[in-house]
Amino acid sequence: METKKVIVITDCIDVAYTEMKIIIEKECKKNWIENIDFSLVPVSEFSILNAAFLTRLLAEQCEPWTVLSVVINPQKHRSPRIYGELSNGVLFFWANTWALTRTIKDLWVKSLYEIHDPGFITFGWKFVHAPNIARILSGIPFDEFWKPFDISNLWELDLVKGSIVHIDNFWLMKIYWDKISYEEWQKFKIYKNWEYVLDAVFANRMMCLDDNVWSLYSWSSLDFPELWSVRNKYWFKEIDAKIWDIITWETI
């Protein structure tokens, strides 16, 4: 039997994720779907910007019919729950937040639907989102439980150039910017939120640098430049950088 793939991109990374996974599996078994491969992608708490980066990063790499389940919504208001299919055949399901702004702009959508709104339900992912993911995996025709959704009604994230969109487990910052190219060892003044914080050097391979040297690196994800203090897991204490902070630089 073909394995179905679900990638859950969420800040609900405690027992809630396991509960969601179990609900999807239980619902799928009702339709004789048992081979489901789940992956969890942790998102920085309440950060739609981080979710937007991670969703875009994965959407390009996934095989057709992989389901990206995006579960993050720090907004005050309730949003429609949306299903869609990208031009590469990847499926996605999420509340209408800004989390898929970059994904939809870059990869386009073939179809877009909204599920019936059952009204407010506490922890809607458990009682609304998860059962509908199971319907997708079970191959139930979309028009049986969706209605078309106009793409012009999607919320869009205003991506500010220089925004830190992700900080990985090595505390390396990924910065929303165009692809950069400098001479090796070019020196920079680095600014956080337009205030000077440190000097850095450009490197095509930052691991060649000495420990604790700050480096502006060309790219490894979506052509975004990266900033890191080499082999120094305590660098964040030096500049207290966070997702949404703005990083800019000038050559020296």
- In a domain? residue 158: no
Let me know if 43 is exposed, middle or buried by CB neighbors in 10 A (0-12, 13-18, 19+).
Answer: buried
Q: Are residues 148 and 192 in the same domain?
A: no
- In a domain? residue 96: yes
Per-residue confidence in pLDDT tens, the chain, 252 aa: 688 999 999 999 999 899 989 999 998 988 888 899 999 999 999 999 999 999 999 999 999 999 999 998 777 777 888 888 999 999 999 888 888 888 988 999 998 899 877 666 677 677 788 888 988 888 876 666 678 888 888 888 888 999 999 999 888 899 999 999 999 999 999 999 999 999 999 998 888 889 999 999 887 789 999 999 999 877 767 889 999 999 999 999
The pLDDT, as a whole number, for residue 86 is 95
Q: Are residues 59 and 173 in the same domain?
A: no
- In a domain? residue 234: yes
Q: Are residues 174 and 129 in the same domain?
A: no
The pLDDT, as a whole number, for residue 97 is 85
CATH value at residue 109: 3.40.50.10790
How many domains, in total, are found in the chain?
2
The pLDDT, as a whole number, for residue 144 is 65
Q: Are residues 147 and 177 in the same domain?
A: no
Among 153, 184, 200, give the residue marking a domain's end. 153
- In a domain? residue 24: yes
Signed CA dihedral, 157, 161, 163, 167: sign only: positive
- In a domain? residue 83: yes
Among 126, 153, 180, give the residue marking a domain's end. 153
Give the domain range for residue 187.
164-251
